[in-house]
Structure 1
Amino acid sequence: MIRQAQPEDAAVLARLIILAMDSLAAKFVGGSAPEESLPLFEKFAALPGNQYSYENALVYLDEQGVCGMISAYDGRDLELLRSDFLKYIASEYGITQIPDHETQAGEYYIDCVSVFPRTQGKGIGKKLIQALIKQAAGTGRDKVGLLVSKQNPNAERLYSGLGFQTVNERKFMGSDYFHMQYTI
């Protein structure tokens, strides 16, 4: 079952965000291991009005609870949605580097798709992406976009198989990505 995430999902959302980000998550806290960022993402997943908020996430539940998530938001809102997060990591962790923009106005941006390893390979990620596309279409949006690491050909194949097309390439926080979009 897929449903809108709730504030009480914050702890599991944080673990899924970190799973998706991997080493990138550690950069936000000046750490070396992704798990070091767990308190940061738990805090922001529980709060409204930011890019990691439960408000922007759909979750997939199986008999054991939340096992996957997808988060997305309107690209025009990126600056506003990440403002408090960037201020917080600057004050708490001394991280002042501002990441490049990963999206832009006119695109409903998938920030994160993640499924716990115990349930991977069951089509959960695909179902979450399809639900997100349906949600975006219902709000009148006509493009859904995302970044996929050039080092992750399996994810690129998944998105291509769902109808996403590469529109350009981007560098984000020191790594190379394909910018892919789905036209509704």
Structure 2
Amino acid sequence: MIRKAKISDAKAVAPLIIRAMGELAYKFSNTNNHGATIKLFEHFFKEANNQYSFENTLVYTNENDEVLGSINAYNGAKLIELRTNFLTYLSLHCGLENFIPEPETQAGEFYLDTISVNPTSQGKGIGKQLIDAGINWAAELGHTKVGLLVETNNDKALKLYQNKGFEISDEKQFIGGSYHHMIYHIAA
């Protein structure tokens, strides 16, 4: 079942966000300490008005309401607003002064920021259902385009998104990495 995330999902969702981000999560926490990185994303998941908030997250749960996957998404036009608290916190608590990442999205698209499935539940179609839920969420909010980034060397993810109807729009550099910016056009 897919539902809106709740604050109480923080302990289950934070590791999924980190799994989806890979190295980027540790660049944000400015440490290789996994526990500190988990705490950072748990903190922001519980807070309102930021990219990684429970407000911007859907979760896939089993019959016992255990979180098996998550998708974090938001209106690309709100990127700067949603980033502000996060970047201020990173500056004050993680030593990342003057850290201003490139924009990964923009106005005119609903951005799928992180999509992740617990490793023990992979291969069951949960990721595809979360992608569909993200597209439906965008449509419900009146968006006509859905965007996301995929590392240029992640052929498996690239193929998954292409099979779901996403097309490569352009290439983006983001915090030292190279990414395909992919777009899904929602039929009117």
| TM-score category (smaller protein) | over 0.9
173-182 or 25-34, larger mean C-alpha shift: 25-34
Runs of 4+ in 1 over 4 A off after TM superposition: none
Q: TM-score, normalised by structure 2?
A: 0.95
Amino-acid identity (%): 49
Aligned to 1:90: 91
- Residue 20 (structure 2) aligns with: 20
Give the residue type in structure 2 aligned to 1:105: A
Q: How does 1:50-129 map to 2 (within 5 A)?
A: 50-63=50-63, 65-96=66-97, 97-129=99-131
Residue 161 of structure 2: aligned partner: 159
Q: Deviation per CA, 1:110-155: give whole Å up to 9, x if none.
A: 0000001000111101001101111111121100000000121111
Letter paired with 2:94:
Y
How far is the alpha carbon of 1:63 from its aligned partner? 3.7
CA distance in 1, matches of 2:33, 2:176: 17
AA at the equivalent of 2:83? R
Partner of 2:48: helix, strand, or coil?
Answer: coil
Decide whether the 8 Å contact of 1:22 with 1:34 is kept in 2. no
Once residues 148 and 104 of structure 2 are traced to their aligned partners in structure 1, the CA distance between those partners, rounded to angstroms, is: 8
Matching residue's letter, 2:58: L
**Aligned counterparts of 1:109 and 1:120: Cα–Cα separation in 2:** 23
- Which residue in the other structure is 1:183 paired with? 185
Tell me the secondary structure at the aligned position of residue 28 of structure 1: helix
| Counterpart-to-counterpart distance in 2, 1:178 and 1:35 | 30
- Greater shift after overlay, 75-84 or 133-142? 133-142
Moved more, 132-141 or 169-178: 132-141
Structure 1, unpaired ranges of 5+: none
Indicate conservation of the 8 Å contact 1:67/1:115, yes or no.
Answer: yes
Distance 1:157 1:140, change over 3 A: same
Q: 3-state SS of the aligned residue for 2:29?
A: coil
Alignment of 1:36 onto 2:36? yes
- Deviation string for 1:4-58 (max 9, x for gaps)? 0011111211111011111111111211254431111000001111000000010
**Unaligned runs of at least 5 residues, structure 2:** none
Deviates most, 24-33 or 162-171: 24-33
Post-superposition shift, 1:101?
A: 0.2
Counterpart selection for 2:151 from 149, 152, 156? 149
| 1:69–1:115 Cα contact (<8 Å) kept | yes
How many residue pairs get matched?
Answer: 184
For 1:68, the aligned partner's letter is: G
Q: Distance in 2 between matches of 1:102 and 1:63?
A: 35
Matched, 1:136 2:117: no
Deviations 1:91-118 (A, max 9, x none): 0011121110000000000000000100
Question: Residue 24 of structure 1 contacts residue 34 of structure 1 at CA under 8 Å; is this kept in 2?
Answer: no
